[in-house]
Structure 1
Amino acid sequence: MKNKRPQAPSVDASATTTSTDADVALGSAIRSARIERRLSLSSVAANTGISVGLLSQIERGISSPSVRVLRGICKELDVPLDYLIEASDRRQDETGRIIRKSDRRVVNFGSKKMLKEFLTTSETCELQLMEIWLEPGGGSGEQPYTHEGEECGVVLEGRMELYVDGERYLLGEGDSFQFDSTLPHKFQNLAETPTRILWVTTPAVW
């Protein structure tokens, strides 16, 4: 599935646009601090005097904040500058090995009533780990699909109907599965509540 290309966020002259590992680590630390305090992008941006687009760029490591902007962010988040620097240093050391919950990449499949949270990155590994959330009736779609590789997983909550190569399987909490991805397959939530699945594919496809 192809996602619509997002509109380019506005850029503030107080930040550069050269991305480095340090920028990514600092942005990740800022985003985590903001989420921990349950603050929105718009409120932090407004109270800091920058655009939402710029703050989003900073959190994604696309832009480097000026000292003035960084101080404003610290004031709004009520954290000392040293806290963000130390947190960003830890994040930089974790690059390629650790993904914090607040840093997960999330894809919402809309009409399919399915949400995927990626626990690994496709850029650095062949193995891909996802946490999939299915709303009641949600799933991969009516038509089975195929791709290269293998996949496996375990139902953490709820109930799932899984079709593999024409065979139908009903899985409940704690049940696991494994199959060759070249076989036609599809899946759907059968519960009246959300179903949550820990799903592994190889190679990474997202």
Structure 2
Amino acid sequence: MNLQKKISQISWCHPIRYEASKVTPIPALASNSAALDRETDISVGDRIRQLRLARGRSLKEVAERAGLSIALISQIERGLSSASVRVLARLAYGLDVDIADLFEPPFDEGDSERPIARVKDRKRIELAQTGITKELLTPFRRTPRLDIYMMTIEPNGKSGDESFVHEGEEAGVILEGSLDFFVDGRRYVLGQGDCFRFASQRPHKYYNAGPIPTKVMWVLFRSDEK
């Protein structure tokens, strides 16, 4: 099957519950340490600036490619603004890197054909203000990208208030807890064992409305085509 072919509808492993009723506002995520959040903002901002300068790109060039304002990117680079998952995904696209590369230096290119990934070498991405933690499980490949993440979404954790789109295709399975999942404006309530699959170009977002952390095995595919 051509992984780049748009999928006409979501495929699920188990029957799901669809709710068309109006969704109540998502409660604000309980704040973690303000100092830790500030440290993360500064670290991520500095990393984004390093990647941009290393590629010889101006703020304007990255802003145009990512579909973001120059002012917002400047604030993020200086650690003055926290970026949502949606914004980070756009920045990664604008810089031609994976979202994990925004948090720490990428893997050594010399390991690009390594067939295994050790537990001790996993990349761990903590988005304190969203309540989301991502671990990259698969070996590094620059192109094409077929990445598997272990995601933990804390109660009230969310990808953002707005849906976002990007290149690629995604699939996954809920290992623990539950997840409110939105694709094309529709809300799907997923429980343990439920699966999803959709083209990333379709507007999507998610949040954990349950009382316990949700664990998701999340697969993301992107070809080398831009």
How high is the TM-score relative to the length of structure 2? 0.49
Contact 1:128 1:204 in 2 (8 A): no
> Which residue of the partner structure matches residue 201 of structure 1?
220
State percent identity of aligned pairs. 38
Q: Which residues in structure 2 correspond to 1:1-206 (within 5 Å)? A: 3-5=44-46, 96-120=114-138, 121-123=140-142, 125-203=144-222
Deviation at 1:178, TM superposition (A): 0.5
Supply the distance in 1 between the matched residues of 2:113 and 2:168 (Cα, whole angstroms): 26
Does the 8 Å CA contact 1:150/1:178 hold for their aligned counterparts?
Answer: yes
Using CA pairs under 8 Å that are at least 6 residues apart, name the structure with larger relative contact order, 1 or 2: 2
Taking only aligned residues, the RMSD between alpha carbons, in angstroms, comes to 2.8
The CA deviation string for residues 32-90 of structure 1, in whole angstroms up to 9 with x for no partner, is: xxxxxxxxxxxxxxxxxxxxxxxxxxxx98xxxxxxxxxxxxxxxxxxxxxxxxxxxxx
- Deviation at 1:103? 1.1
**Partner of 1:183: helix, strand, or coil?**
coil
Question: Could you tell me whether the CA contact under 8 Å between 1:96 and 1:124 is conserved in 2?
Answer: no
Find runs of 4+ consecutive structure 1 residues off by over 4 angstroms: 92-95
Kindly tell me the number of residue pairs found equivalent between the two proteins: 122
Q: How has the CA–CA distance of structure 1 residues 124 and 183 changed in structure 2, closer, same or farther, with 3 Å as cutoff? A: closer
Tell me, yes or no, if the aligned pair for 2:149 and 2:219 is still in contact at 8 Å: yes
Paired residue type of 1:129: I
Say if 1:98 and 1:165 are closer, same or farther in 2 by CA, change over 3 A.
Answer: same
Partners in 2 of 1:94 and 1:146 — Cα distance? Answer: 27
Unaligned runs of 5+ in 2: 1-40, 48-106
**Structure 2 counterpart of 1:113, one-letter code:** G
Name the larger-Rg structure.
1
* Shift of residue 122, structure 1, vs aligned partner: 4.4
* CA shift for structure 1 position 125: 4.5
SS of corresponding position for 2:46: coil
Distance 1:94 1:165, change over 3 A: closer
Q: Going by fraction, where is helix more abundant, 1 or 2?
A: 1
User: More deviation in 115-124 or 161-170?
Assistant: 115-124
